[in-house]
Structure 1
Amino acid sequence: MKKDLPENIVEDIAIAVALENESPESKLWYVYVINLKNHPIENVLITSKGYGSKDGEQVKTSTLRHMIPLLQENSFALIEPIDEQTFGLTNEYWLSYYIGRDIYDKKFIFLPESIIESNFIKLPLLNKPGVMIK
């Protein structure tokens, strides 16, 4: 039964969209997972997808899956590049990982038009501008 399962709360883990490089013609964006914990996490699985409406039509991106065997404490790992054209969609990242034998999971959702300069912060550990959900 669901009530018998432990409530493993995800803390000190973030998903961030970082501005990597900017030129007059284009901007280069990457998505990262950031481990702000003081211990590593293992078997990190991330699925990503985008969905919503664009020009009055429903749009869905491909679902991508990523695996990171080990993410050390106070470190980060690249998940994927992200195209600026998807910023008008809902961008969803479902994260699962283990600490010992316990599994943790959480859904991180970047709402449409939330990846904008007015929401930028200096991303911890990355020291780059971007948007982060913790």
Structure 2
Amino acid sequence: MKKDIEIPEVKGVFVAAVKEFNEEFQGEEWNVYLINETEKELEMVLVVSKGHDLKKKTSVMRHKMERLPAKSFAKIEYLQDDVLKLNNEFHVSYFLNSKMFDKKFHFPAGSLRQNKLKEIPLIPNKGILAK
């Protein structure tokens, strides 16, 4: 039964949006990163992302990483300006110590703004952590 299934709490794993300068296009852009602040490597990491509101929705994007080392981060995807107006959701699943962990991270519509940038774990640039 569902009540018998143990779902471990996700700790030390974050999704962050970081505003960065793109040398190739000579402009600022938002990039989303997965951060592993734990002391152990994450295995078989799957990220499913989508944006939506009452009238619009984006395509569902799927990303896979075989491993994400301890105390590291990896870029997941670039967010186009049109997508910033939507609620953006990142569903992250991974294995750690032979257990599966799962969590949904959210960036509410309009929450990615320059004036909300803060220090975030491991990444040298300022960003915004998903809820």
Same fold (TM over 0.5): yes
The answer to whether 1:30 aligns with 2:31 is yes
1:2 CA displacement: 1.1
Letter in 2 for 1:44: V
> Which runs of 5 or more structure 2 residues have no equivalent in the other structure?
none
**Partner of residue 21, structure 1:** 21
Closer/same/farther in 2, CA of residues 4 and 82 from structure 1, 3 Å limit:
same
1:118 CA displacement: 2.4
- Give me the TM-score of the superposition, normalised by structure 2: 0.91
CA contact (8 A) 2:17 2:130 kept: no
Q: Going by fraction, where is strand more abundant, 1 or 2?
A: 1
**Separation (CA, whole Å) in 2 of partners of 1:41 and 1:29:** 24
> Which runs of 5 or more structure 1 residues have no equivalent in the other structure?
none
1:59 CA displacement: 0.7
**Partner of residue 75, structure 2:** 78
**Separation (CA, whole Å) in 2 of partners of 1:11 and 1:120:** 22
Letter in 2 for 1:91: N
- Give me the TM-score of the superposition, normalised by structure 1: 0.89
Between the two proteins, the alignment pairs up a number of residues equal to 129
RMSD (Å), alpha carbons: 1.6
1:110 CA displacement: 0.5
Letter in 2 for 1:4: D
1:22 CA displacement: 6.6
Letter in 1 for 2:42: I
**Separation (CA, whole Å) in 2 of partners of 1:130 and 1:84:** 16
What is the percentage of aligned positions where both structures have the same residue?
Answer: 34
**Separation (CA, whole Å) in 2 of partners of 1:22 and 1:117:** 16
